[in-house]
Structure 1
Amino acid sequence: MGRKVYDRQFKMAAVQLVLEENLFVKEVAKELSIHPNTLYRWVSEYEEYGESAFPGRGSALYNSQYEMKKLKRENEVLRAEIQEIFKEHKGRYGSLRVTKVLEKKGIKVNRKRVGKLMRQMNLYAKGSRYRYKRYNKKSPSIERPNLLNQVFHTDGRNKIWVGDITYIPTQKGTLYLAVFVDMYSRKVSGWSMSTRMKDSLVIDAFLQGYNKEHPPTGLIIHTDQGSQYTGSNFQAILKKYGAVSSVSRKGNPYDNALMESFYKTIKRELIHGAKFTTPEQARKEVFKYIELYYNTKRMHSSLHYLSPIEYEKAYSS
C-alpha cells in the first residue's frame, strides 16, 4: 500500500481540533491514526499561513480541481486540433474520421469525447444534420449497470464502496456531505463537505478515500443516479483511477441500503436536534463524528460489535 495522502479538508479539521478544541497534538494524532510529527507540521503551517495553508487539497497531484482543470486544458488542445482537422477536410469529417486523424497524430482519445467537443463547437459533417420528424418517440435512457443487485457483502476491504450525498441544515445555510463507505468494514473511506452541491463534492470525497486507502484496480463505486455521479467529470475520474461505476435502479433506495443506513445513523446520533448555527460548526462536528468516533469507536452489530477500524485490523489479511 502506498503512502497515505490527506486532503486540505482533513488537515484543516485536524488542526482545528488542536487549536480550537484545546486538545493535545499526540492525543489527536493517535485518534486520527497519523504520526504526531505530521500533525505538528500541519499546525505549524496553519499558524504561519492561516487560511492560505495547504493550497488546493494539500497536494496538487490529488486535487480534484487540478484534475478538472487538467481535463479542461486537454479539451482546449483537442478543440484546436479538431478545428484544424475539420477545416482541412472542408467539413466532410465526422467524429469517427476526426478521431482516426487524431490517432495518426499520436493523440489517443475516445470517439465519444471527440463527438461531444464537436457538438459544443457546432461542427457537424456535411449531410449529418438532416433530421427526420419523430412522432412521440422518447429518447432511450442510458443503461447503467447495477453490479450489486442488493448483495451487501464482500470478502475484502477496498473492493466495493457505496456513496451518497445528504444535507445538514444550519441557521445560516445548508452544508452538503458526500461520503463513500467500504462495504466490507462499514468504514467511511472518504468524505467531503461543501455549501454547494457540485460534482467536485463527490470527486473530493472519492479522491480523499483513494489517496488514503490506495484501492486496487477494479474497485466498484456504487451510487444512485444523481448527476454528480453520472456526469462526465466524476466518470472520468473513476476511469483514470481504475474504478468501476455501478448505480442503483432509479427510484429504488433499497439498492443502496448500506448508505441509507449510514445516513440514518449519523442523523440520529449527531444531526437531529443539533441546531447548528453555521455550516462551519456543522463541518467540525461531522469531522469529529466520522474520524474520532464512527470509524474508530462505534460498534456495529454486523461487525461482531467491533468498530470499522477494529474489524479491519482483526479480519483483514
Structure 2
Amino acid sequence: MADLGLMSPLAERAFKRAKARAARLKDPVDLLNRDFGSLIPGSILVGDITYVATREGWLYVATVIDLATRQVLGYATSNRQTTQLIVRAMTAARASGLIVKGAVFHTDHGTQYRSKQFSNYCRRAGIHRSMGARMECWDCETINASGRVAA
C-alpha cells in the first residue's frame, strides 16, 4: 500500500487525529538557532535516546551532554523508551552539579521530550527546553569538533 501511496481509512483518521493533537501542543522553539557552540560549561545541553541490541532485546540509552565540554553529564538505560527514562537521565545530570541555573536543553521532537511530565520537570528544575525543527534529524549529527554546524 505504501508503494502505491495508499492509506487505509482507519490509519488516515488516526494520522489526522495525531496531527491535530501535535498542532495543539506548545513545543519549545529552537533557542539555539542551530548554533551548537558553547563556551560556558553546563549552560547548553543536548540530549537524545539511542538503542543497543543485546541478547535480551533492545536497550535504550538516554543521554544528557554538555556542549562546552562534550562531557556526558547524565545517562539512564531501560528496556523501554519512556519519559521516565529521560527524566532519570536529566536527574543524573543535575546530580553531577555541573548544570548552571537557566541552562538550555536542546532535543528533537520525540514524544518523551514533548511530554507534560518532562515539561513540568524542566520547569521545576529551571531548565529551558529547546527543540530543532520538526522532522529535522540533522541538528546533533552535523556538529563538528568546534561545536558549529558542519557545512
The alignment's TM-score, normalised by the length of structure 1, stands at 0.37
Aligned counterpart, 1:182 = 66
Deviating above 6 A after TM superposition, structure 1's stretches of 4 or more consecutive aligned residues are none
Identity %: 29
In 2, Cα distance between equivalents of 1:199 and 1:236: 12
Q: Is contact 1:189-1:213 (8 Å) kept?
A: no
Q: Secondary structure at the match of 2:96?
A: helix
Displacement of 1:215 in angstroms is: 2.0
Structure holding more helix per residue: 1
Residue of 28, 32, 37 corresponding to 1:153: 37
Conserved in 1, the CA contact under 8 Å of 2:83 and 2:113?
A: yes
Larger RCO (CA within 8 A; separation ≥ 6): 2
* Contact 2:73-2:98 at 8 Å conserved across structures: no
Residue 231 of structure 1 deviates from its aligned partner by 0.2
Shift of 1:302: 4.4
Q: 1:191 to 1:143 in 2, by over 3 A?
A: closer
Match of 2:3 in 1: none
Match of 2:55, as an amino acid? Q
Bigger strand share: 2
Aligned to 1:257: 141
1:197 aligns with 2:81: yes
The alpha-carbon deviation at position 255 of structure 1 amounts to 2.2
CA distance in 1, matches of 2:88, 2:104: 17
1:1-317 superposed matches below 5 A: 139=20, 141=23, 142-257=26-141, 302=146
How far apart in 2 are the matches of 1:210 and 1:161? 11
Q: Is the 8 A contact 1:150 1:256 kept in 2?
A: no
Which whole-Å deviations, capped at 9, do the CAs of 1:198-255 have from their partners, x for residues lacking one?
Answer: 1110000001000112422210000011111110111111011100000111111222
Deviation at 1:144, TM superposition (A): 2.7
Bigger Rg, which one = 1
| Unmatched 5+ stretches in structure 2 | 1-15
Counterpart secondary structure, 2:121: helix
